[in-house]
A and B are shown apart, each in its own frame.
Chain A
Amino acid sequence: MEPELATPFRERAEHALGDRFLQEALTIATTKFITLRREAFAELPEGEALRDQARAIKEATLQRLDHWLERLVENVEGRGGRVHYATSADEARAIVLDIARRTGARLAVKSKSMATEEIHLNEALEAAGVTPVETDLGEYIIQLAHERPSHIIAPAIHKTKGQVAELFARELKRETVPDPEVLTRIARGELREKFLQADLGISGANFAVAETGTVVLVTNEGNGRMVTSLPRVHVAVMGVEKVIPSMTDLAVFLAILAKSATGQKLSVYTSLVNGPRRGGELEGPEEFHLVLLDNGRVRQIAGPLRESLNCLRCGACLNVCPVYRQIGGHAYGYTYPGPIGILLTAMLNGSESVKDLAHASSLCGACVDACPVRIDIPRMLIELRKDVSEGGIAPWSERLVFRAFAWLLRRPALYRLGARLGRLAQAPLARGGRIRRVPLFFGEWTRTRDLPAIAPRTFQERWAELEREARR
């Protein structure tokens, strides 16, 4: 269970809305990401066609996922790597722990990976006596602060440089100043030691190329290269949906991934790793392990959330989401925030887990436009809402009101009468065409939104009037 879930979503969201620094940081960051993304695609006339092609590749791969995964396994093993199969998060953790134990690892360096966040690997490693060190600067900061990432690609977006300086002073016993340049230099020194000492390197995978058995990692800092080259054992944990058929496909994805994420044409480092160190090489692990992770993904191949298996984890939908932009990542309460995060949470933990989150969206569709592979997130959110309501997860008062409303809608005479009565009843509540508070238990619905007041003349009344005029 995630630590943030001790309080209900509404309270988490209200807390975030009251945090003035967070509000400012979110506006600055998301606005900047949106601008950079737009500029990057403006420079690429074939961008739209590439997005369509990327989408088609993902769909085609899902159609034969078993085949491509088998090719991947064959080619990884053919190059001296070992493949492991994890149906659940528990199993994935057990596999990594077993590798750590067998190889006598004490210190693990990690390259930023949402898959290992998802399975809560760090806690398990610590409990087993292996020290995990996050090496992406943002992840390192939040690990020192014992927090969780608040954005898929900018995990420490919610921290000020002053807070980071205090954190370094407290945790690293290093006196410093709140200057990103100086703070980054300190982190470089601290982490360089760890890279050179670590026995185990743990990474995720942005892609895995089936035809060659290659795991592809994209980073800006270079920690991905360190983690896959310096420790004597490398373990990559990847969701099964990350497989793509060929290097030709990879080129298509690389052409749109960084542009969608940070607006860069390409991230600084794209590392293609193909098994353990080969003869003649100075660096590279003696052992290479690939953990294929299901954890709720496989049942969606034919499930209602199938389309979200196409996600590249670029974070573009977070930046444009009016809800994410207000509440940030932590308020969502799970590993994956934002619009796609709601779907991924439902995929990993079941619809029950998103009974509140399914409504944390205005369904405006900005996410579909921003998504490099055009995942129709609102469509699936609506289905989730249906699921949530049919499963009796919504509060009984809300279900009662909507059922009564549906009953009324089917009876025009009663509906007209209801509208007239409602107009009288709302008089003490309506101000400027809105109702801000409804009494009793119905008040829950208007806590965070206004209800439009019933108009002085309803549409039906005006329509009837127009018809009378036309006949005259």
Chain B
Amino acid sequence: MTGKAEFFERIRAEVVRGRGAALGTTALRPGKARERLDVLRRELSERWRENLDRFGREFERVAGVLHRVGAADEVPGVVARIAAERGMRKVVAWPAATLGLDVVAPLAAQGLEAAAMPGADVDGRERERLRAVAAAADLGVTAADVAIAETGTLVLVSGAGRPRSTSLLPSCHVAVFDRDTLVESLLQMGLVLEAWHEGAEPSWRGAAINFITGPSRTADIELTLTRGVHGPKEVHAVFVEQGIRAHRA
């Protein structure tokens, strides 16, 4: 087996031999990414209406469905309606701390089988059980940490109280977001990613960041577009006008 030292020695020798073959520059990385992001967010907060409209247009182009409500307590009603229209019964959701509201009690009151995922570490056996619950669910409710207007993309950071399976295993995914999560472009998202990785990482942070741009799709059989091959067949985004108070990345 090749060892690390030997592997790198060959690469180093070739890099020296190839020096000057062509020139290039990497993207200019913003120093103090967090400070810059704060400045950007203040600017964006003045343009949130345009950005929400643009997000909505792009999200619908990728077959997402956008809902708008005034206050957070209207969200369970939207989820219940989506479930009822499709004859869905089982719901899993992020806990109130990361979602910004409790959906489980109001949904249960409407006769749905709703379960909240845990907000802290659980043992292996419990993880297995919860995974089975998520796999059996029809609908998963999460928050979104960022919504990218240019592409109609929802960005979800995994971690404590932010399971990845909620947005992946059920056939319908509903994500809740507000104006503070909106950015305009992928390049702005680059700054967000830099800021998230600046300095020590918070202890709640998980190992995955997922960009979700509409429902799962494939065109692998005769280029016929088909949705829901592995991930959700439907993705809904619920915009809360008055904002939500949740833990956010």
Contacts and interface: CB of A to CB of B under 8 A. Distances in A.
B229 A269 contact: no
A191 B135 CA distance: 13
A294 B15 contact: no
B111 interface: no
A281 B218 contact: no
B223 A29 contact: yes
A180 B18 CA distance: 49
A141 B161 CA distance: 37
A138 interface: yes
A270 interface: yes
B223 A280 contact: no
A245 B194 CA distance: 12
Contacts of A38: none
A192 B25 CA distance: 43
Given A192-B230, A225-B164, A281 B4 contact: no
Contacts, number: 292
A306 B7 contact: no
A110 to B, nearest CB: 13
Given A91-B2, A278-B159, A282-B118, A164 B221 contact: yes
Given A281-B159, A301-B15, A302-B17, A161 B221 contact: yes
Contact of B25 (A56, A94, A188): A56
Contacts of A161: 221-222, 224
Given A180-B221, A281-B158, A266 B4 contact: no
Interface residues of A, number: 105
Contacts of B221: 137, 141, 156, 159, 161, 164, 180, 183-184
Contacts of B151: 265-266
Interface in A58-106: 58-66, 69-70, 73, 79, 83, 85-87, 91, 94-95
Interface string B148-168: 001111000011110111001
Nearest to B119: A280
B42 to A, nearest CB: 21
A229 interface: yes
A289 interface: no
A137 B208 contact: no
A180 B226 contact: yes
A211 interface: yes
B34 interface: no
A16 interface: no
Given A138-B220, A155-B220, A282-B165, A269 B120 contact: no
Choose among B30, B163, B189, B206 the residue with the greatest number of A CB atoms under 10 Å from its CB: B206
Interface stretch (A215-223, A348-356, A358-366, A391-399): A215-223
Give the 8 A-B residue pairs with the shortest CB-CB distance, closest first.
A59-B24, A251-B190, A222-B231, A280-B160, A302-B18, A138-B220, A60-B24, A302-B17
Given A57-B24, A57-B26, 5 more contacts: A85-B4, A249-B26, A252-B190, A282-B131, A294-B10
